Amino acid sequence: MARIGIIGAGSWGTALAFELSGNGHSITIWSIDPEEVRMLNTYHEQKVKLPGVILKDTITATDKLDIAIFGMDLLVLAVPSPFTRQTARKMQPYVEDGQLIVSVAKGIEEDTLLTLSEIIEQEIPQCRTAVLCGPTHAEEVGRSLPTAIVAGSTDDRTARYVQDIFMSRTFRVYTSPDILGMQIGAALKNVVALAAGISDGLGFGDNTRAALITRGIAEIGRIGCAMGGKPETFAGLTGTGDLIVTCSSMHSRNRRAGILIGQGKTPKEAMDEVQQVVEGVFSAKAAKQLSEKYKVDTPIINEVYAVLFEGRNAADAVTDLMLRDKKQEQENGKEHDNL
């Protein structure tokens, strides 16, 4: 049995608490919100963000960071990606030398273009880091539906340790050394999910969504490989797998926000209605900057950025994607250019 502190009591942090407690681990959840802490300790349920998932009464919640960190074998950092740096900075004084932090959020920091594990290492230099990514909706993990995910670390022993901690009959964990590629895929798929949602909101069909998913993974892979990620990572669970589930499910807050934008709401109105952090909106800025920095062609990402931040009409964006110059999908067996 491991002692695990989960930093962040949103839907994903709560679902992982449910999963890990089922493996017999001792769980403490931290939330910045005292009311959320009271709710979890009183009802053993995240009634707002993950209703219906009942936690074991052995799980305790706290708003004291030191309690959630001191003496823990493993820390799971599960706050939304825009809050990773400020949370890591608050954690730093309490983290012991060599203490393992597993990053489970998905995003790229706008200003620095750093991955979340890089932010954690920058703010908490004494820690070890790993990442957990894949096609995993909290709502389904909380119902113990079969799920596959990837534990990533540059150190194989660390990756296998995380694998052992999380693995269960319904939660299958693979390992990977490509933590850069994993995090790029995890972050940028949210941008493509916004595009898929916008397409659905405009009334387009399965053909359109399939095209966006397929060409979207080409754009993600193009950026990721230029940064040093491995092509096979983008064909796996943290690339294609994560993209498919995020573009296809109504559990996806990014797809839901995209649908509302396609129906005519502003990005702010869409985010307000979803009532959760829509990480693809933040990742779109980073994705645009990365495509420019590494000089790769990303028309879908570019159009999503224009809709979100430049007032572009969503229907016009789709039309422009369809009317681009004719392209060859592959050249000599290699992916050539975009939709």
Q: Among all residues, which ones are annotated catalytic? A: 189
Which burial class, exposed, middle or buried, applies to 84 when counting CB atoms under 10 A from its CB (0-12, 13-18, 19+)?
A: buried
Q: Cα-flanking dihedrals φ and ψ of residue 134, to 5°?
A: 155, 180
Quickly count: other Cβ atoms within 10 Å of residue 174's Cβ.
16
DSSP state of 326: P
CB 301 within 8 A of CB 219: yes
Q: Cα dist. 268→14, 197, 243, 272, 273 in Å?
A: 26, 15, 23, 6, 9
Q: How far apart are CA 45 and CA 232, in angstroms?
A: 38
HSE-CB for 82 with a 13 A CA cutoff: 10
Which burial class, exposed, middle or buried, applies to 10 when counting CB atoms under 10 A from its CB (0-12, 13-18, 19+)?
A: buried
CB 174 within 8 A of CB 150: yes
CB 301 within 8 A of CB 234: no
- Reference 289, options 300, 302, 303; nearest CA is 302
- Reference 15, options 27, 2, 3; nearest CA is 27
